[in-house]
Amino acid sequence: MDLLSDVLLSLKLRSTIISNWQLSEPWGFETKSFPAGYCFNIVAGELWFSAPDSEPELLLAGDSVLVPIGGEFNFYSSDNAQIAPLRALWKGDNFAGFDHYLPSELHQINWGGGGAKTTLLSFAFEFQPNVQLDLLKALPSAIILRQYQGTEFPSFQSAIAFLSQDASNKQPGFVAIAAQLVELIIIGQLRSYILSETKHPKGWLPGLLDKKVGKALAAIHRHPEKHWSVTRLAIHAGMSRSSFAQRFQQLVGVGPITYLSHWRIQLAAELLQTTKHSISDITEMVGWTSDRSFRRLFNQRMGKSPLAFRRDVKQ
């Protein structure tokens, strides 16, 4: 299995809220105070989308905006529209957190000044805690997907249409289907962006998409406990040592051994959060032979010792 599939398979939604928006001009909202990840899919009509310090973009029916881990953006019908906080519009009251709503229940939001109409289907979501979530930081804070990018998954629009139909969500079993579809749509949108974008910044993504460096990254991710060296990773990638080291640095932005150390620290942090293994056992599980070296590097990377990190998580 390829590394991208590994990463995407590990991403699971812990919470989901689906909303059907019926908007009429003028209207506008901002997401500055909204804490969750979210996705807006334009079912009918159009809207303007803007990020701080960037030019607005016009989005049309079939387009989507995916914000994996939250962020500050504006959505509006026209320049003269007043901008309201998204929290205040959610089901007519302040967003009260995921525990306040039934999972995958479809909420209806009607708002605006009575003019031209726009229909949106939105997902608010949280990912389950997972070491792979750090890799999402390599993505832009907002991902715009045009309708033509859905060719990777032609059923996107059919799934969105099903979720947006009022009649569908009144039938028994809708919540079970909706939860699976939302996860499928979001993971599919991430995949479509990753495969279609040609200018990823330095990091794991361009390395992952490179056939040879991707083999080395997959080996690091799947077997961090092995005693990897630059030479062994180069052999795994099918390259000479010098060419591999140079290409890895060029694509990922750090050397192979530095990346390996960072990945081991992330794995160790997850094990400290989710297991009762001793720090010494975790040190060995993620591939360190020196307990002292592990503690020193963990403190440098995470800003605190492994013991303090575990203690803070429990509080």
**How do residues 71-97 score in pLDDT, each as one tens digit?**
889 999 998 888 888 777 765 544 555
Answer yes or no: do 79 and 165 share one domain: yes
Answer yes or no: do 191 and 304 share one domain: no
Q: How far apart are CA 249 and CA 40, in angstroms?
A: 36
Q: How far apart are CA 286 and CA 89, in angstroms?
A: 45
At 17 the pLDDT is 84
Contact 122, 47 (CB under 8 A): no
Q: How far apart are CA 136 and CA 39, in angstroms?
A: 15
The tens digit of pLDDT for each residue in 289-298 reads 888 999 999 9
Answer yes or no: do 276 and 208 share one domain: yes
Buried-exposed string 194-215: b where 16+ CB fall within 10 A, e elsewhere = beeeeebeebbbbbbbbebbbb
Write down which residue in 163, 196, 229 finishes a domain.
Answer: 196
Q: Which of 143, 249, 253 is nearest to 196 (CA)?
A: 143
CATH number of the domain enclosing 230 = 1.10.10.60
Q: pLDDT above 70 covers what percent of the chain? A: 87
The contacts of residue 136 (CB under 8 Å, 6+ apart) are: 68, 69, 127
The contacts of residue 12 (CB under 8 Å, 6+ apart) are: 127, 128, 130, 183
Answer yes or no: do 188 and 217 share one domain: no
Task: Give residue 86's domain range.
Answer: 3-196
Counted domains in the chain: 2
Bigger pLDDT: 52 or 182?
Answer: 182
The contacts of residue 144 (CB under 8 Å, 6+ apart) are: 49, 57, 59, 63, 64, 65
The tens digit of pLDDT for each residue in 166-216 reads 656 667 788 888 888 999 999 999 998 888 887 787 888 899 889 999 999
Q: Exposed, middle or buried: residue 65 (CB in 10 Å: 0-12, 13-18, 19+)?
A: buried
Q: How far apart are CA 70 and CA 240, in angstroms?
A: 41
The tens digit of pLDDT for each residue in 30-42 reads 988 677 789 999 9
Answer yes or no: do 170 and 214 share one domain: no
pLDDT at 70 over 70: yes
Mean pLDDT of 234-240: 96
Range in 33-47, 60-74, 76-90, 129-143 the model is least confident about: 129-143
Q: How far apart are CA 3 and CA 164, in angstroms?
A: 33
Q: What does the mean pLDDT of the chain come to? A: 86
Q: How many CB atoms lie within 10 A of CB 135?
A: 20
Q: How far apart are CA 63 and CA 255, in angstroms?
A: 38
At 264 the pLDDT is 93
At 93 the pLDDT is 47
Answer yes or no: do 70 and 171 share one domain: yes
Write down which residue in 170, 196, 222 finishes a domain.
Answer: 196
At 151 the pLDDT is 57
Write down which residue in 196, 221, 239 finishes a domain.
Answer: 196
Answer yes or no: do 58 and 160 share one domain: yes
Answer yes or no: do 179 and 277 share one domain: no
Answer yes or no: do 166 and 230 share one domain: no
Answer yes or no: do 56 and 29 share one domain: yes
Q: What's the CA angle centered on 134, arms 200 and 220, to 5 degrees?
A: 80
